[in-house]
Amino acid sequence: MQRNFQKLVVTLVWLAALAIGVPTLSAQDAMSSGNSDAKQEAMQKLEKMATALQLTPAQKKQVAPVLMEEAPKLKALKSDTSMRPMQKAMQMRQIANDTDAKLKPILTPQQYQTWEQMREQERQQMMQKMENK
């Protein structure tokens, strides 16, 4: 009985932290600074999305794991020096498309349209960075 109560308390604390945007890290994640950086970027992106799209707490809770999954993939891709810029761009686009497909059922049509505009701005900024190198 007490064990079930403890599980419930831990689950509620975790959900509350996630709902208010506090990054929650497992022991393994805390030990890996690269993963921690990616997760921190994901949380920043979540906050930016939450503000721009006016996400509900429930949406925010659903979006967080999607962004947490995307962040380390993007970080690894950005740091990969063996790929040519065009290959990286194509892979980044695929990662973004995968993420967008997961976000579409979570967001309202208006939110998703705004999200697509945000993504397009990100792509344009990335292209400008690539041209300036």
Instruction: Transcribe 61-87 into DSSP letters.
Output: HHHHHHHHHHHHHHHHHHH--SS-HHH
Gyration radius of the chain's alpha carbons: 17
Q: Where does residue 107 rank: exposed (0-12), middle (13-18), buried (19+ CB within 10 A)? A: buried
Name the 3-class secondary structure at 32: coil
Side chain identity at residue 43, one-letter code: M
The domain spans of the chain are 2-132
* pLDDT by residue, tens only, the chain of 133 residues: 555 545 544 444 343 333 444 333 333 443 344 578 888 989 999 999 999 999 999 999 999 999 999 999 988 888 888 988 889 889 988 999 999 999 999 999 999 999 999 989 988 887 787 778 6
Cα dihedral sign for 86, 120, 23, 99?
negative
Quote the pLDDT of residue 129. Answer: 78
Kindly tell me the sign of the dihedral angle through the C-alpha atoms of 72, 77, 62, 21: positive
